[in-house]
Amino acid sequence: MKYLLIANPISGPKKGQTSIHQKALERIENAGHSASLLTTEYEGHGYELALEALDSDYDVIVAIGGDGTVNEVARALTHSDKVLGIIPNGSGNGLARELQIPLDTSEATKVLLENNVMTMDTCTANGEPFFVTCGIGFDGKISKEFAKSDARGLTTYAKEAVSEYFNYHPNDYHLLIDGKEVTATAFLIAIGNASQYGNNAYIAPNASLTDGVLDLTILKPFPHIEATKIAMQLFTKGIDRNEYAALYKGKHILIETPNRVNYHIDGEPKHKTDRLEIEVCPASLQVVSRKEESYNKSMLDLLHQAASGFHGWTADIKERFK
């Protein structure tokens, strides 16, 4: 096998972690495979490097970085015969988590070398590809504010969310979901190809990367007292049981609003829009995922995962109410 590693040197909670990239390269070479390492130098460079690799003899193109880096590389590989590999080194790591790829570099490289390839769906929002989630409203606003911060990680995201929450005003939306009309006043509207934003915050808990449909969650305006409950449900796959959440499925979704509203694609903020058109592209990307039999999460693991994620949100919410 021949691997090309495309690494973002400034991604992750700690920037400049060159050792992570070298560690992955060495493990691949020590396993008897050929590997090359390239680093990105500017936004969009990962896409360019992966696009150039389409005409090469590399078998697997590996993104080392966060969701933004993965998005760039995956965009180039969609509808191609190349396989996407992921070694996560970001803040949310949404697609890596969805594919059950470990966050530890050595373990992630081990999964990469197992070469368990699956074919997943991809999506577009206003013609731009995404792979995990797209959202309009509050989550779009938070993505914009989060991008301005030098600090990364769940705690920073939680602080931005709490800070903006008390001043955010819901918007009116008109939706067409596979031709069916839906109107709603919403705090946010999230569209999931994957089930989570990242950090194991499950906004579309019933979503699948391989079912050929999108999962849409409309979160309606809710009283402040409900915020902690909603945060807990995000981290325990329970948002579908909340009375302020309405869930839909569809292949083609059109969202219109009288005001221009913030939106995001895979956590990357985009310019405000009053029209968002989302489509699914079934079975359009080959990707390395963890073998099901090698991933046996215990109940204790699940509880620890939920508690660690939930703690970051609730700590800031409680601080705000002091």
pLDDT at 70: 96
**Strands 180-186 and 128-130, bridge-based pairing:** unpaired
pLDDT at 304: 46
What is the number of structural domains in the chain?
Answer: 2
Q: Which three-class secondary structure state does DSSP give residue 236?
A: coil
For residue 138, what are the domain limits?
Answer: 128-282
Same domain, residue pair 194 and 267? yes
d(CA 307, CA 232): 9
Same domain, residue pair 200 and 150? yes
CATH number at residue 14: 3.40.50.10330
Same domain, residue pair 105 and 169? no
Amino acid at 311: H
In a domain, 312, yes or no: no
Within 10 Å of residue 220's Cβ, how many Cβ atoms? 15
Instruction: Choose among 191, 241, 182, 198: nearest CA to 215.
Output: 191
In a domain, 249, yes or no: yes
In a domain, 319, yes or no: no
What string of pLDDT tens digits covers the 322 residues of the chain? 999 999 998 876 555 456 888 999 999 999 999 999 999 999 999 999 999 999 999 999 999 999 999 999 999 999 999 999 999 998 889 999 999 999 999 999 999 999 999 999 999 999 999 999 999 998 888 777 666 555 555 665 566 666 667 788 999 999 999 999 999 999 999 999 999 998 899 999 999 999 999 999 999 999 999 999 999 999 999 999 999 999 999 999 999 999 999 999 998 999 999 999 999 999 999 999 997 644 444 344 444 444 545 454 454 444 444 4
DSSP output for 241-296? G-TTEEEEEESEEEEEEEEEEEEEETTEEEEEEEEEEEEEEEEEEEEE---GGG--
Same domain, residue pair 161 and 220? yes
Same domain, residue pair 232 and 187? yes
How many secondary structure helices (H) and strands (E) does the chain include? 9, 14
In a domain, 141, yes or no: yes
- Vertex 254 angle, CA 252 and 255, to 5°: 145
Same domain, residue pair 216 and 272? yes
Same domain, residue pair 80 and 137? no
Residues in the chain: 322
Same domain, residue pair 82 and 198? no
In a domain, 320, yes or no: no
Domain boundary among 61, 81, 115: 115
Same domain, residue pair 37 and 151? no
Same domain, residue pair 132 and 278? yes
User: What does the buried/exposed string (b/e) look like for 107-124 if buried means 16 or more CB atoms within 10 Å of the residue's CB?
Assistant: ebbbbbbeeeeeebbbbb
CB 219 within 8 A of CB 226: no
Within 10 Å of residue 79's Cβ, how many Cβ atoms? 9
In a domain, 76, yes or no: yes
d(CA 47, CA 31): 27
Instruction: Choose among 227, 255, 243, 242: nearest CA to 137.
Output: 255
Same domain, residue pair 132 and 207? yes
d(CA 261, CA 136): 7
CATH number at residue 250: 2.60.200.40
Helix, strand, coil % in the chain, rounded to nearest 5: 35, 35, 35
pLDDT at 151: 54
pLDDT at 165: 75
Position of tokens 């989060």?
Answer: 146
The pair of structure tokens assigned to 316 is 């800031």
Same domain, residue pair 151 and 233? yes
In a domain, 41, yes or no: yes
